[in-house]
């Protein structure tokens, strides 16, 4: 599974980085980025981040 963030939609709330810090982190310009690999072990946390992102900025495929 691959994970993407639409930076135009991200409001920098930090929910994704809190949910799954292995995959998401905040950048200096207050947006989130994907820097880690989505694996079987953390995919539930990634899905949680997708569901809880307030602007639906995170997608997976």
Provide the minimum distance between the beta carbon of 34 and ligand SF4 in the complex, in angstroms, as a whole number.
9
Residue carrying the six token digits 């995170």:
58
Cα(56)–Cα(41) distance, integer angstroms: 23
- Output 15 or 46, the one with its CB closest to ligand SF4: 15
Cα–chain center distance at 59: 8
Provide the minimum distance between the beta carbon of 7 and ligand SF4 in the complex, in angstroms, as a whole number.
8
Cα dihedral 34, 39, 21, 50 sign: positive
Provide the minimum distance between the beta carbon of 60 and ligand SF4 in the complex, in angstroms, as a whole number.
12
Task: Return residues touching ligand SF4 (CB under 6 A).
Answer: 5, 10-16, 32, 53-55, 57-58
């Amino acid at each position: 599974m691959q994970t993407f963030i639409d930076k135009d939609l991200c409001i920098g709330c930090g929910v994704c980085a809190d949910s799954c810090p292995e995959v998401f982190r905040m950048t200096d310009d207050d947006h989130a980025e994907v820097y880690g690999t989505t694996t079987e072990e953390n995919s539930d946390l990634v899905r949680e981040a997708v569901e809880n992102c307030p602007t639906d900025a995170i997608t997976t495929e």
